[in-house]
Chain A
């Protein structure tokens, strides 16, 4: 990957890639692996971008697909990762300045199903229902109801009503 491509095409969207990767990982090591893999896949797949959607939407979609695949790979791997045994929480050294509510929200998002995590991340990034539907491969009518359900579930997790 050229540093030009990374700087011009990936770095401006690094924030969203990071948010996705963090939602699908529990440790810093896994997060960095996911981030690198997403960047690699963006670079490898760049010729498939057909400008039918925004570059940012395409990056989001690819990041989500790669994260879902890596998660499946990890779960299927016979070799257990450290994170398989660690409680779902942000690494301590990174959380000193982090708002408690935010930490709890991120942890709650990690407790959702893989698909729900993707949907709520898109919603929180203020993507339209149409964009969310395009990325997830569904129709916009279903998204609103799904988001409502996810928010209710998140609230219950945050209130300690469910694990």
Chain B
């Protein structure tokens, strides 16, 4: 007679060695390695990386004589690190002892909030970084010649009739403003691209499991 799954399960544990308790070794040394912990670790590293990066770019920009770029990057990166440091605190507070759905949902909520805040931040951050690069190359070293002025003088010499606004070529200024506006408009997407490069696979796994759990909660799906 065919045995039921239930009886195979029950009888299996009576005869097998499956229930031998493993030895607990170096439990304190075992790093907490679940998804949320890993995310927190990566996040912490990223925040530190941003701060270190801000100082490195500042130093390098002085060495290559475009300090305004470094200063601009520094001004943009430090608030970015601070905002994400604050977000990290929320990640540490996720309760692991609630049911599976609530646990993953809490993490998902945190993730969405983190993405939303960073997307808003990106609208200012990316154009600002672009402006910092332009400023770096335009103003050159502090107290030295301004490469931007030389470029402008050359342009005026070549196109003496060009339209100017506040002393700058109108069309060039409009082009720069257009690029900055486009970068700001698409900043959210650029940020998502960035995010997916680092956390894409983890985010997808989270979505898959949540979708499965949500299906379980819907009467209509059965």
Contacts A35-B22, A76-B201, A138-B216 hold; do A61 and B100 have CB atoms under 8 A apart? yes
CB pair A155 B5 closer than 8 Å: yes
CB pair A105 B101 closer than 8 Å: no
30 contacts between A and B (CB under 8 A): A6-B24, A14-B19, A14-B21, A15-B13, A18-B18, A39-B27, A61-B99, A61-B100, A62-B97, A64-B100, A65-B97, A65-B103, A68-B100, A72-B34, A72-B209, A76-B205, A94-B18, A97-B16, A98-B16, A99-B8, A99-B15, A102-B9, A103-B12, A105-B5, A115-B212, A135-B99, A136-B100, A138-B101, A142-B219, A146-B222
Question: B101-120 vs A: 1/0 string, CB under 8 Å?
Answer: 11111000000000000000
A-B contact count (CB 8 A): 172
- Tell me if B218 counts as interface (CB < 8 A to partner A): yes
In whole angstroms, how far apart are the Cα atoms of A114 and B32 in the complex?
20
Q: Output the nearest chain A residue to B221 by Cβ-Cβ distance.
A: A142
Contact of B205 among A18, A37, A65, A75 (CB under 8 A): A75
Task: For A102, list chain B residues within 8 Å (CB).
Answer: 8-9, 11-13, 15-16
Question: A61-92 vs B: 1/0 string, CB under 8 Å?
Answer: 11011101110110110000000000000100
- Tell me if A162 counts as interface (CB < 8 A to partner B): no
- Tell me if B57 counts as interface (CB < 8 A to partner A): no
Contact of B213 among A95, A137, A145 (CB under 8 A): A137
CB pair B97 A45 closer than 8 Å: yes
The count of residues in chain B whose C-beta lies closer than 8 Å to any C-beta of chain A is 52
- Which of B22, B101, B104, B218 is most buried by chain A, counting CB atoms within 10 A of its CB? B22
CB pair A15 B19 closer than 8 Å: yes
Contact of B35 among A1, A15, A72 (CB under 8 A): A72
- Tell me if B217 counts as interface (CB < 8 A to partner A): yes
- Tell me if B33 counts as interface (CB < 8 A to partner A): yes
CB pair A36 B95 closer than 8 Å: no
A residues engaging B (CB < 8 A)? 1, 6, 11, 14-15, 18-19, 22, 31-33, 35-37, 39-41, 43-45, 48-49, 58, 61-62, 64-66, 68-70, 72-73, 75-76, 90, 94-99, 101-103, 105-106, 113-115, 118-119, 124, 134-139, 141-142, 145-146, 149, 151, 154-155
CB pair B38 A142 closer than 8 Å: no
CB pair B17 A37 closer than 8 Å: no
Q: Output the nearest chain B residue to A32 by Cβ-Cβ distance.
A: B22
Q: Output the nearest chain B residue to A78 by Cβ-Cβ distance.
A: B201
Q: Output the nearest chain B residue to A155 by Cβ-Cβ distance.
A: B5
Task: For A39, list chain B residues within 8 Å (CB).
Answer: 24, 27
